Structure 1
Amino acid sequence: MNDLPLNWITQELTALNADMNARFLWCTDENALNTLPTALHQEQLLVLTNRWDVAEQAKARGFTTAFNDFDCSEIPDNSLDKIFYRVSKEKPVVHHLLNQAWRCLKPGGQLLVAGYKNEGTKTYIEKIAKLLGSGKNIEKNGPVYSAALSKYTEYDAEQLLDDSDYRQPRPIALDSGIKLLSKPGLFGWNKVDAGSALLIEQLKQLSPPPNPLSTCVDLGCGYGYLTIAAASLDICKSINHWTLTDNNAAALQLAQQNLQHNQLNGEVIAADAGKSIRAKVDLLLCNPPFHQGFGIDGDLTDKFLLSAKHLLAPQGIAFFVVNQFIPLERKAAPLFNQIRVVIDNGSFKVIQLGL
């Protein structure tokens, strides 16, 4: 998918002509996947991303890279000459990074920001332009809004854009009977996903298998709901080690905290759909994403199914929950000998897979 706002950002990066003392920051998420250029201004530019796959691609292309939940706390105030940012999907993330741009830019430094019209980009530009004391300088090119905004005002923590307390984990789903922490920046961060809840309801009805399960991978774990909710079920009581893996830095942070919060023995691994995990497990749980960037991407389903095949032990079982329109059964057919639709409620379906 050709991302026009990202194209504008990379053009601006390519056009840079600065002395070696200048320092630049590029904040990017999944929008840059598979479209990163080779290293630009290698000594001066830091790529900051919350996506493991983007971080790995950026490193492979020669960029100095930081992988975290857009944590700018180690960047000194008034230290950057330019910041480049293609707006993210979720408002708290955008407001968080715009606030950090105000803090980190030098007086006279520039924020270069772009996004599509239907992502609220024009409003974001107007808000941060006011804080920076800059003219809006908004350019419209078809569906894309972009702006180069200079900083003329001193950072004031009392005037920040509302980022929903982005950095702070907090308890959620208090009526679920389990201990869960989450935070803004994750898809559906403040509730239990309906598909995941359906999967857990089906697992509740299953008896332990003849050969007790001892290991489980939560593939694309998010903040760890499937692991935490499944741990107390009869089918999972014999499991003595949990592995949670995700591509998103915030998810990994929260999954680790939720393991500790619930005193479960496990590990949290950053990976692209579990690719780097070499273990063979008895049970695999997965509620895979079906959006890549801003569009539906069927290849993601294939990626998660391939990982499930490689991760399952010979007698292992996998449970997937997907939106009703995802043809998981057809996609799984070349990879798995056992495919069973456990339930289809018209919105989601739970599918059991075996080798």
Structure 2
Amino acid sequence: MKPELTLHERTLTLQRYPARNNETLQAWDAADEYLINHVTEAGIPLDPTRPIIILNDSFGALSCWFADDGEVTTVTDSFIAKQGCMANLTENRLPPASIIDCLAELPENPQLVLMKLPKNNRLLVWQLQQLCQLLPADCPVIAAAKARDIHSSTLKLFEKHLGETKTSLAVKKARLIFCQANPALAQPLPAPQQWDVPEHKMTLSNHANVFSSDSLDIGARLLLEHIPRGGQYQDIIDLGCGNGVIGIKAARLNPQAKVICVDESYMAAASAQMNAEHNLDNPDQLTAKVNNCLDGFPAQSADLVLCNPPFHQQSAITDHIAWQMFCDAKHALRANGKLVVIGNRHLGYGAKLKRLFGNVTVIAQNNKFVVYQSDK
């Protein structure tokens, strides 16, 4: 896949993160191109002294394009997107952007907001409410997505939480949403969603962009019943932790252990840390970190890795993240350490684990999920 984006007699070199040999996916899409073309062709005046806010930039295409036009603040919930954005800014020798997570405060007096629609409507509402509290009257909001992902319900969310909303015609199967903030709609940001898991005596809270916002998903329910316990587990990793429920259960079953919860979502890591405070007698037993899988983790530093891999990156369906998780887990495990993985039956993780570890055991399954164990 060619990594050059060429528009308006300008070319950017853009790579996805982490970089892979023979990459088949682009680091931008038609919605990015539509946004760039619209702002350029509409002649929207840009003041180099005022912030441009860019939300949910997948790998930095928008941040790179507008880096010379104002003080770019890029807002993302993705550690991987942040790393990709920084790498692409450096590759193209552009000024650095201020890259913040979705829980951080937005810069004051922005001149323009560009948004890629998030997959999660809860995160969309959170961001719209953030913007409504902040935007001056002269700051337009322009959002973009694949046309199939912009529904009448999407436009109603903009109308309800931000202000008057219009939409464009589709170009290359992408559409734009135009909105102007109405201060009368401003309201406090919603609190994290909270619910009880009585069978495990937990109360869980999720920030807006964390998977399964108001109930325990069925995969986690199965894995919770099959977490190993024993004095040999001194260092445990919950990889792809979400709200931390698996790591918290592992910490309870193994009170002698230190547990690290790892996710690439800032909101997930914040939720996991918050849930540890509420559900563990010794919250210091658990630490939540934002990372790309187990980058930088020392070899032979863990006795048990628990993993519920995602099978998509941004909007692209892919299995390379699961494979990286399994490889990183093998690197981090000590001799005789265990990797316990849950996945949908159709994903075929068993074959991958057998190829990597030389062994795999099915320790539980139902009609949808399988729990595998591989020993190092």
TM norm structure 1: 0.84
- Report how many aligned residue pairs link the two structures: 337
**Deviation, structure 1 residue 129:** 5.2
Is the 1:324–1:349 Cα contact (8 Å) retained in structure 2?
yes
Tell me what 1:190 maps to. 214
**Residue identity in the other structure for 2:98:** T
Specify which of 186, 190, 213 is matched with residue 157 of structure 1.
186
> Closer, same or farther in 2 for the Cα pair 1:213/1:207, shift >3 Å?
closer
Tell me what 1:28 maps to. 56
Matches within 5 A, 1:219-298: 219-233=239-253, 236-239=254-257, 241-261=258-278, 262=280, 263-264=282-283, 265-278=285-298, 280-298=301-319
Matches within 5 A, 1:2-81: 3-12=29-38, 18-28=46-56, 32-33=58-59, 38=64, 40-42=66-68, 43-62=70-89, 63-68=96-101, 70-71=102-103, 73-76=105-108, 79-81=109-111
**Residue identity in the other structure for 1:73:** E
**Residue identity in the other structure for 1:106:** P
Cα shift readout 1:2-56 (whole Å, capped 9, x = no counterpart) = 5332332344566665232232100016xx1486674632551111111111112
**Residue identity in the other structure for 1:143:** K
Is the 2:46–2:111 Cα contact (8 Å) retained in structure 1?
no
Which structure 2 segments of 5+ residues have no match? 1-24, 90-95
Is the 1:111–1:150 Cα contact (8 Å) retained in structure 2?
yes
> Closer, same or farther in 2 for the Cα pair 1:183/1:135, shift >3 Å?
closer
Which structure 1 segments of 5+ residues have no match? none
Specify which of 335, 338, 346 is matched with residue 317 of structure 1.
338
> Closer, same or farther in 2 for the Cα pair 1:139/1:283, shift >3 Å?
same
Is the 1:47–1:64 Cα contact (8 Å) retained in structure 2?
yes
SS at match of 1:199: helix
**Deviation, structure 1 residue 101:** 2.6
Is the 1:51–1:67 Cα contact (8 Å) retained in structure 2?
no
Specify which of 327, 335, 354 is matched with residue 333 of structure 1.
354
Is the 1:138–1:146 Cα contact (8 Å) retained in structure 2?
yes
Question: For 1:59 and 1:207, how far apart are their aligned partners in 2?
Answer: 40
Percent identity (aligned): 20
Cα shift readout 1:93-126 (whole Å, capped 9, x = no counterpart) = 1122123333332212211111233334454335
**Deviation, structure 1 residue 267:** 1.7
> Closer, same or farther in 2 for the Cα pair 1:330/1:256, shift >3 Å?
same
> Closer, same or farther in 2 for the Cα pair 1:135/1:259, shift >3 Å?
closer
Question: For 2:150 and 2:167, how far apart are their aligned partners in 1?
Answer: 16
SS at match of 2:347: coil
SS at match of 1:107: coil
> Closer, same or farther in 2 for the Cα pair 1:130/1:227, shift >3 Å?
closer
Question: For 2:162 and 2:290, how far apart are their aligned partners in 1?
Answer: 36
Matches within 5 A, 1:109-188: 109-125=139-155, 127-128=157-158, 134=164, 136-141=166-171, 143-151=173-181, 153-157=182-186, 166-168=190-192, 170-188=194-212
Question: For 1:180 and 1:115, how far apart are their aligned partners in 2?
Answer: 32
> Closer, same or farther in 2 for the Cα pair 1:12/1:333, shift >3 Å?
farther
Is the 1:218–1:285 Cα contact (8 Å) retained in structure 2?
yes
Is the 2:343–2:370 Cα contact (8 Å) retained in structure 1?
yes
Is the 1:92–1:185 Cα contact (8 Å) retained in structure 2?
yes
Is the 2:204–2:275 Cα contact (8 Å) retained in structure 1?
yes
RMSD (Å), alpha carbons = 2.8
SS at match of 2:176: strand
- Stretch moving more, 314-323 or 40-49: 40-49
**Deviation, structure 1 residue 274:** 1.9
**Deviation, structure 1 residue 212:** 1.8
Is the 1:223–1:258 Cα contact (8 Å) retained in structure 2?
yes
Tell me what 2:325 maps to. 304
Cα shift readout 1:276-324 (whole Å, capped 9, x = no counterpart) = 3226100110111112223421112111111111111122111000110
> Closer, same or farther in 2 for the Cα pair 1:157/1:175, shift >3 Å?
farther
Question: For 1:201 and 1:336, how far apart are their aligned partners in 2?
Answer: 23
**Residue identity in the other structure for 1:351:** Y
> Closer, same or farther in 2 for the Cα pair 1:150/1:216, shift >3 Å?
same
1:218 equivalent to 2:238? Answer: yes
> Closer, same or farther in 2 for the Cα pair 1:133/1:176, shift >3 Å?
closer
Tell me what 1:93 maps to. 123
Question: For 2:60 and 2:53, how far apart are their aligned partners in 1?
Answer: 19
**Residue identity in the other structure for 2:142:** L
